[in-house]
Structure 1
Amino acid sequence: MTMDHELSILSEAMRRAGREALRMAATGFDTYTKPDQSPVTSADLAVNQILRDHLSAAFPEDGWLSEETEDNHNRLTRSRVWIVDPIDGTRSFVRGLPEFCLSVALVEQGMPAVAAIFNPATGEFFSAIRGQGIRVERQAEAGQAPFTPPERPLALVNPWELRVGRFQALEPHLHCRPIGSIAYALALVAAGQADAVVTLEGGNEWDIAAGVLLIEESGGRATTAAGHPFTFNRADPRVKGTLAIGIDLTTPTRTHLIQLSAASRDLRAPLP
């Protein structure tokens, strides 16, 4: 069974939601603080509602897991579940930086089958259907330039982990650049604009589900920080770090990345 219909409906919903995010970025939005001290805006909530309205209307039997929707474990009984981060990189969105995105995956039996990541600020739209490769498009009318990689090889990393020195062992081997959205980072690696994504701790399924499929469909590899494969739509959506390696990274640098990431299993302090 092909997933072209699902991707078509998803793409339309994401483009509409992305336009709303940009409208609110221009006209104003409210910002709140969640119990975990992370920010959420009225734009996150508006995007979440647009995506849910469109996808639930088109596919009423599918489950739903979103960062901005109270979890309902009925999703665990569904063979297909939409896993959604309405705006990944909310801090960047609030600051007006073009490093945020909408990230959605359709997971079937625990594996992403369809994925799309959309950065409305740059117009970059990354999508994939399992077994059909990755597609990258850019809207000509986008207001801001797309990501431009600095020196290569390049790893996109968690800003806090970089500040506290967790990537010092990597810096002789590749450049480490902080980025506010792991979903956007995964899409950039899948598109060949960077070479790896490393977060040694933390994360949730909605941060990475779409990006994992993009990485895999581009020929790369994506695992937990400790090297374990991902499965999705679990009762506890938290993940233990992420390591994604692009197809072009050389073997010696891959080895350094894997060694550093595997050592992260000894880390116990939660991310702030």
Structure 2
Amino acid sequence: MRQTPAEPWADDLELLRAAAREAGRAVMGFFRNDPHVSWKNGGRSPVTEADFAANRILADRLRPARPDYGWLSEESDDDASRLSHETLFVIDPIDGTRAFIAGEPTWVVSAAVVHRGRPVAGVLYAPVMEEEFTAVAGGPALRNGAAISVNAVRPDGPLRLACGKDMLGLFESGFAARIERAPHVPSLAYRLAMVADGRLDATLVRPDAQDWDLAAAELVLEAAGGALCDCNGEAIAYNRPDVSHGFLCAAAAPLIGPLLRHFSWPREG
């Protein structure tokens, strides 16, 4: 089995890139073309024929190329055998399905390789915007081949933050005065990429984000000098029996501590 860091995972990254681009190009035929929509998770989450089409392409390209890897995708039935694999693909065929349905450009094909609970190769491909974010463990974060990094946030400077409007009231008043709330972007993966390239300073994530929403984007963020953590400041682990996560915070690494200190995290459940 392959080991970290960087160089051993470069081939996997190229495999992810090719598959994500093929899937992204294919689903552009559904975009702004009234795709069929159905509902899952008790009617809370939309899914389109484009999601399933992208999932088929990704599975057809990735699984035969790495038959010893496990598989976890939002649009595939979960197979507990993935837990026996040290390495697996973690896939969201379209992250930001609501944006896709609305004809908005901020959706991505998200594909990652996770090894021993952590992402080691990842790509986010946004075909409408012609953006590709990539990272491999030990390497730089890239957008369309150029290195990106998080903002250098001043200790007392303004902060551009993506979060629910109700969450602003949970910050201490002095800290809240520094915050400019950014417009909502439905794709969590793309929001993390926006932190990675400095368009956002941070984002707060409500409970129930899934492994496939996070894995590729977290690696890009980490490689760009950022961090994703839970409300205790701990890194998250992937490929557990339960792939959902609680409250999370993503930011430039030096900003994580102040955000955790000045925010009253709601009780979960």
CA distance in 2, matches of 1:34, 1:97: 21
Match of 2:167 in 1: 166
Corresponding residue for residue 219 of structure 1: 225
Bigger drift between 126-135 and 215-224 goes to 215-224
Equivalent pair of 1:124/1:136 in contact (CA under 8 Å)? yes
Instruction: Write the distance in 2 (CA, Å) between the matches of 1:86 and 1:241.
Output: 23
Correspondence list, 1:6-85, <5 A: 6-36=12-42, 37-85=44-92
Provide the C-alpha distance between the structure 2 equivalents of 1:184 and 1:89, rounded to a whole number of angstroms: 8
1:191 Cα offset (Å): 1.6
Aligned to 1:230: 236
Shift of 1:256: 4.3
Residue 59 of structure 1: how far off its partner (Å): 0.7
- 1:156 positional shift: 2.0
Count matched residues: 246
Distance 1:202 1:260 in 2: 23
State the alpha-carbon separation in 1 of the partners of residues 204 and 127 from structure 2: 24
Contact residue 201 and residue 225 of structure 1 kept, 8 A: no
**Whole-Å separation in 2 of the counterparts to 1:50 and 1:171:** 44
Distance 1:225 1:93, change over 3 A: farther
Q: Which blocks of at least 5 consecutive residues in structure 1 are unaligned? A: 139-151
Among 97, 100, 108, which residue is 1:93 paired with? 100
Kindly state the Cα deviation for residue 81 of structure 1 after the two structures are TM-superposed: 0.7
Q: Which digits, 9 at most, give the CA deviation of each residue in 1:16-39, with x for residues without a partner? A: 100112111144411001133210
- Tell me, yes or no, if structure 1 residue 190 matches structure 2 residue 199: no
- Residue 257 of structure 1 aligns with an amino acid whose one-letter code is L
Q: Do 1:194 and 1:246's aligned partners in 2 also have CA atoms closer than 8 Å?
A: no
Alignment of 1:102-117 (within 5 A): 102-117=109-124
The TM-score normalised by the length of structure 2 is 0.85
- Using the alignment, how far apart are the partners of 1:216 and 1:29 within structure 2? 35
Alignment RMSD, CA only? 1.9
Map Cα deviations across residues 77-126 of structure 1 (whole Å, 9 max, x no partner): 01111111111111111001112111111001111110111111101100
Q: In the alignment, which residue of structure 2 is the partner of 1:208? A: 214
Give the whole-Å Cα distance in 1 for the aligned partners of 2:55 and 2:262.
35
Matches of 1:90 and 1:118 in 2, distance apart?
14
Supply the distance in 1 between the matched residues of 2:59 and 2:65 (Cα, whole angstroms): 10
CA shift, 1:3, in A, is 1.5
Task: Report which structure shows greater RCO (CA 8 Å, sep ≥6).
Answer: 2
Deviation at 1:260, TM superposition (A): 4.8
Unaligned runs of at least 5 residues, structure 2: 1-6, 146-157
Q: Contact between 1:117 and 1:125, CA under 8 Å: does it hold in 2?
A: yes
Residue 148 of structure 1 is matched in structure 2 by: none
**Distance in 1, Cα, partners of 2:101 & 2:196:** 26
1:171 Cα deviation after fit: 4.0
